[in-house]
Amino acid sequence: MPSRHVVRPAKHDDAAGIRAVARASWHAAYDDFLGPGTVERMIERWYALESLERAIRSPDQHLFVVDTSDGCQERLLTGFVHVGPWPDGPATLGKCSRLYVHPGQWGEGIGTELLERGQATLAQEGYHRVRLEVFEANERGQQFYRGRGYTVSGTETERLDGTNRRLLLMEAPLRQ
Ligand SMILES: CC(C)(COP(=O)(O)OP(=O)(O)OC[C@H]1O[C@@H](n2cnc3c(N)ncnc32)[C@H](O)[C@@H]1OP(=O)(O)O)[C@@H](O)C(=O)NCCC(=O)NCCS
């Protein structure tokens, strides 16, 4: 039976489902260059349920999830996007902090739908541009954003699990 899905704001009890999508997507996308051990440790650190619940509650952060029904009773999360202000940036600069789709659903248009929902939310809130960080080694992610109007605006280095990792900053204008 074909799957149906709805994109909706995340609820308090979605935190575990969001973390499950992140874990599967991080392993599929990042194991090659971060290694599975680092991926597990970063998921524990960056996707702690309390911090996700805080982000879901926060008035200036927005999390949207893809809720997929199998046509019967079961509902599963298969993707999420997290947007908000760019910390310490100009008031018109928004941030797309996270965009992840379960690898079983890659290539079905869900990532594009989530990105557009996040961008539309930022635009409605008065942001003019959106910026995000993507691992330099994540070529598929960069290609995805390039195909959606993003260009590289800088680089940075972040220490993750004891190793320095290169990140690209990518940004795009928001349709007002
Ligand atoms: C990047 C990501 C969010 C895209 O989500 P998605 O649902 O696969 O996106 P879409 O289906 O809307 O578009 C997929 C794009 O990848 C291409 N694609 C097609 N099949 C694909 C597949 N099996 N796997 C990956 N990409 C595929 C498509 O051609 C499309 O690009 P194009 O329309 O510009 O040609 C998803 O791959 C993901 O979660 N990746 C891991 C995490 C990540 O890199 N996040 C972004 C950086 S933080």
Per-residue pLDDT of 71-96, as tens digits, reads 555 668 999 999 999 999 899 999 99
Which of 144, 145, 170 has most ligand 1 atoms within 8 Å of its beta carbon, as the pocket-test mutant?
144
The answer for residues whose C-beta is within 8 angstroms of residue 157's C-beta and 6 or more apart is 164, 165, 166, 167
Question: Do residues 45 and 107 lie in contact, with contact meaning Cβ atoms separated by under 8 Å?
Answer: no
Percent of the chain scored above 70 by pLDDT?
A: 94
Task: Establish whether residue 138 lines the binding site of ligand 1, counting it when its CB lies within 6 angstroms of any ligand atom.
Answer: yes
With 0.85 as the threshold, say if the pTM is over it: yes
Which of 106, 146, 170 has most ligand 1 atoms within 8 Å of its beta carbon, as the pocket-test mutant?
106
Task: Establish whether residue 80 lines the binding site of ligand 1, counting it when its CB lies within 6 angstroms of any ligand atom.
Answer: no
How many CA atoms lie within 13 Å of 31's alpha carbon, on the beta-carbon side? Answer: 10
pLDDT for position 1: 40
Structural domains in the chain plus CATH codes? 4-127 (3.40.630.30)
**Cα dihedral: 10, 76, 51, 126 (round 10):** -30
The answer for residues whose C-beta is within 8 angstroms of residue 118's C-beta and 6 or more apart is 62, 64, 81, 82, 83, 96, 99, 130
